[in-house]
Structure 1
Amino acid sequence: YHHALDINAYQEAWRLASQRYPVLRTAFDWDGEPLQIITAQPSLTAAHFRLEDLSQLSVTAREAAIVELQIADRAVAFDLSQPGLLRFTVIKHSDAHYTVLKTEHHSISDGWSGPLLWQTVHDYYQQLLAGQSPEVHPESTYLDAQQYLQQQQSATRSYWKSLQANLGEPNDINGLLSQPIDLSQPPVIDEPTETKLVLEEKDYQQLKAQCRAQGVTLNVAVQFAWHKLLQIYTGDEQTIVGTTVSGRDIPVAGIESSVGLYINTLPLALDWAADATIHTQLQTLQQRIAALNSHSGIALASLQRGGARLFHSLLVFENYPAPVNTGDADTLGVAFRSAVEKTDYPLSVIAYEQGDTLHIGLRHDARSLTTEKASRLVDQLQRILAAIADDPAQRHDQIPLLSRAEAQALLHSWNDTDAPYPQDKTLQQLFEAQVE
């Protein structure tokens, strides 16, 4: 916040937000089967806030101190038996500059909810500063959604039971890595890094136009590209990718403006018949993603065989709503600093649109995948996306992964082994000369 911050009013704004949104009053009972509990009273109090005055430090020392605060904060576990599974560190740079470090347990919210929650808090805060008493209208959508999902459990379980019968083994992704890892063990990502691809201008517009012509979304195009890359490197007849769905494709009033954890990560499988075209694969993915959204109210753990993972890579296409601009963010001088998210899959693909560009990030551990090879994988993803834009009627096994320069080097430069030899001797004579 590039503005003075009234700490008491700020804390009260968050308390009112917890009064409005049930998920902010969530706790869990772990005796026996986990049970989610939502308390009746607001759960966020002054105890959830920590104040750090770093205004006396130099800019360099202050930035270093903030990083240390972030690292230390991430090491503190939440007590899931207590409601209000988020906490705040308010850091003072100066009287007119504050940074708020917000840490929340992922069981209570998702990326879609973030802008909605911040907007509500800022609205309450501005009203409090103006001497007004904000009217809090408790949201019922989250509870309505949970009730709907419970009512659909039988149909959801039936859908997944039929789907499980056709799920093969998880793809061995070691062929994509620089250093093989034991996929039977949960990965430890010590050096998280990201290799990025940005499609813009002509490339973006052509892909977008082709998706419209095919009646599919950009999400489907990115899904196809990643599935195809897995299929090329593994040679498997079926690829399975963990796919994050919004969980909001349900007939509950107000679902798009509700705050809570609706997303889920579920297996998305695609079979690779030799004669399948890009077009047919895109259509299949479109249908299966729609089905996942309609049957997303199931725990991933319940689908796993003996607790073993169904997939080793994750794909997230972020499509969050833009909050209504009430002017509060501008008045408060709000600027987003950074975010840290934890994933425990060896390979994760994160994609989103921003303006007239498509951003794709390949997240991985630098120890198991070098920057050089990660860049090559991202380049190959781009060529698969280009094949979608150029000719979706072609068979998927005709997609070229080599650039013209790479093809020239492989087929011609590296095979340029011509050497002079005597024209007046036979092959037998040349061989005998070598023996002598």
Structure 2
Amino acid sequence: MNRSNIEEVLPLAPLQEGLFFHAMADSDAAYTVQTILELEGALDPARLRAAAQALVDRHANLRTAFVVVPTGAVQVVLRQVDVPWTEAEAETVAGAGAGAGAGAGSGGSGPGVRGLAAAERARPFVMDAPPLIRFLLIRTGPRAHRLVITSHHILLDGWSAPLLLRDLFSLYAGVPAPRPRPYRDYLTWLAARNRDESLAVWRRVLDGLTEPTLLAATAPPTPATVPPTPATVPRTPAAPPTPMVGNAGEAGAGAPGGDVTAAAPDHIPVPLAADIQQRLRGLARDSGVTLSTVVQAAWAITLSRFVGRGDVVFGATVSGRPPEIAGVESMVGLFINTVPVRVTVDPAETVAALLGRLHRTQSETLDHHHLGLAEVQALTGLGALFDTLVVVESYPVDNAAIDRVRAALGVEITAARTEDATHYPLTLVADPGAELRLELEHHRGLLAPHRAREVGELLGEVFAAMVEAPDALPVARLAVAAPPRFAAENAAENVGPEHPVSFSSVVGVWDGVVAAG
């Protein structure tokens, strides 16, 4: 690394520490994120390549190398890097089925697209050789292309993905954009936090917890299994990465140790009738809480049924963007974190009372979401506290900026999909858009498929029951209790529990942003 090309040296954010640990352990395949865009129109490849280079020039954190120095792990921002750019032609197979290509549809792509994209995703990043983002443009027809953007999750969270795409196409279209606030400002904010104060808050929240809440036979690795980062590196020992909120909300880590595999998850929809969805929104409004709080309460009740006790813990992905940093909502980088959510389910308590209590606990920890998960879990002495995750997708979109870019683009983005990863055996993904969409992602190697389906079925029952009489109905009457020996039975049914699993979530990060009105 040429010293004259070094712009600055910065510490790592807590989640970056964990992701870097996994990368150094050669187990970072699950943290490769890939977005594939279908483009229709008179695209200028040379102009798009120049825009990709300008994008990397614009955002300093895209020019970052991750290295270990005598004092610990740091990120080194370079002044200039060349963007990795590849162009290819994909063979179009007449009559190919919809599953033959990546994002099959407009343009009709054959297996060449899928193979080229898979090869990009399989190619590992070298952490000290930035940029950890690369572009592949595949021509699939006279006026059809696929743009494949592959990056390491250590650079970006799901909130950042639409922002990055907006900037890329603004640069392509020549639409002026304000100067971005650098990721460095967030790291500076982190360094100024009172760590002892935050630890004290989490210690109170977790006080008295006697056991973790695990649905699968194999628990995630405990903090003790992770080599500590030298004390001179700010904040936390290196932790197993916490789930990313990304493109599905990002989900990313803290699950079983070992080598990462490339298996995709099973996806189990949790259908809710339209009237139930509307009443759930009304329940949140009348209770003075967010829909996210309602989702978390339902998940806590469901977990309580399956593990047979009232004191449960699960993970929740948080945006990690502190409102006191002006313009933080438009910053590009890795801000997300995973925090434990502890809920004591009192059978005699009403739904409304449970929601109010959960909201108060969340408010207590809101200013302390920045601590690394391993450091928080270490307070209990129990190791990993949970093996399920709740991700509620919610990204603000500047529709006016998107409209300006679309008008000047000259190319239509007809579809988009993103693949990211998580290691948790079971993840609940909630998209509270115009329609509340719920889906369970699970890996059958860690959780028997029929058990995952049982969880989804009971969760649907709980949601439906919560809206019946929230001010009067006790929690105990929300659903038929599942056998409390669930975890023990599941242990005998699991297959290959020693292997962690990468999840692959197909999410429309950009389609909701640029879809034709």
State the distance in 1 between where 2:59 and 2:356 align.
Answer: 38
Match of 1:312 in 2: 387
Instruction: Tell whether 2:257 aligns with 1:186.
Output: yes
Among 358, 361, 364, the alignment partner of 1:288 is: 361
Structure 2 counterpart SS, 1:93: strand
Match of 2:113 in 1: 66
Residue type of the alignment partner of 1:54:
A
Match of 1:382 in 2: 460
Match of 1:173 in 2: 215
Structure 2 counterpart SS, 1:320: coil
Residue type of the alignment partner of 2:454:
R
User: Closer, same or farther in 2 for the Cα pair 1:212/1:361, shift >3 Å?
Assistant: same
Deviation at 1:57, TM superposition (A): 5.0
Q: Is the 8 A contact 1:270 1:285 kept in 2?
A: yes
Deviation at 1:94, TM superposition (A): 1.6
State the distance in 1 between where 2:184 and 2:177 align.
Answer: 17
Among 420, 433, 437, the alignment partner of 1:341 is: 420
1:178-197 Cα deviation digits (max 9, x unpaired): xx556664386735111012
Match of 1:9 in 2: 47
State the distance in 2 between where 1:86 and 1:145 align.
Answer: 21
Q: Aligned residue pairs: how many?
A: 388
Residue type of the alignment partner of 1:39:
L
User: Closer, same or farther in 2 for the Cα pair 1:311/1:124, shift >3 Å?
Assistant: same
CA RMSD of aligned residues (A): 2.6
1:166-211 Cα deviation digits (max 9, x unpaired): 444211314xxxxx55666438673511101243521111111111
State the distance in 2 between where 1:126 and 1:141 align.
Answer: 23
Residue type of the alignment partner of 2:338:
T
Among 120, 133, 139, the alignment partner of 1:92 is: 139
Q: Is the 8 A contact 1:116 1:323 kept in 2?
A: no
Match of 1:424 in 2: none
Residue type of the alignment partner of 2:308:
G
Deviation at 1:250, TM superposition (A): 2.9
Q: Is the 8 A contact 1:191 1:366 kept in 2?
A: no
Residue type of the alignment partner of 2:480:
L
User: Closer, same or farther in 2 for the Cα pair 1:89/1:276, shift >3 Å?
Assistant: same
Q: Is the 8 A contact 2:135 2:150 kept in 1?
A: yes
Among 397, 400, 413, the alignment partner of 1:322 is: 397
Match of 1:39 in 2: 78
Q: Which runs of 5+ in 2 are unaligned?
A: 1-38, 101-108, 222-255, 482-517
Residue type of the alignment partner of 1:50:
T
Q: Is the 8 A contact 2:91 2:110 kept in 1?
A: no
State the distance in 1 between where 2:383 and 2:118 align.
Answer: 31
Structure 1 counterpart SS, 2:390: strand
Match of 2:87 in 1: 51
Deviation at 1:360, TM superposition (A): 0.7
Instruction: Tell whether 2:202 aligns with 1:160.
Output: yes
State the distance in 2 between where 1:21 and 1:183 align.
Answer: 34
Among 331, 344, 348, the alignment partner of 1:258 is: 331
Among 158, 163, 172, the alignment partner of 1:111 is: 158
Match of 1:419 in 2: none
More deviation, 95-104/187-196: 187-196
Q: Is the 8 A contact 1:346 1:365 kept in 2?
A: yes
Larger helix fraction of residues: 1
User: Closer, same or farther in 2 for the Cα pair 1:309/1:208, shift >3 Å?
Assistant: same
Match of 1:25 in 2: 63
Q: Which runs of 5+ in 1 are unaligned?
A: 128-133, 175-179, 403-436
Instruction: Tell whether 2:316 aligns with 1:243.
Output: yes
Structure 2 length-normalised TM = 0.69
Structure 1 length-normalised TM = 0.81
Structure 1 counterpart SS, 2:75: strand
Residue type of the alignment partner of 2:123:
V
Deviation at 1:138, TM superposition (A): 3.9
State the distance in 2 between where 1:206 and 1:283 align.
Answer: 17
State the distance in 2 between where 1:281 and 1:236 align.
Answer: 16
Residue type of the alignment partner of 1:186:
G
1:408-433 Cα deviation digits (max 9, x unpaired): xxxxxxxxxxxxxxxxxxxxxxxxxx
Q: In terms of Rg, which structure is larger?
A: 1
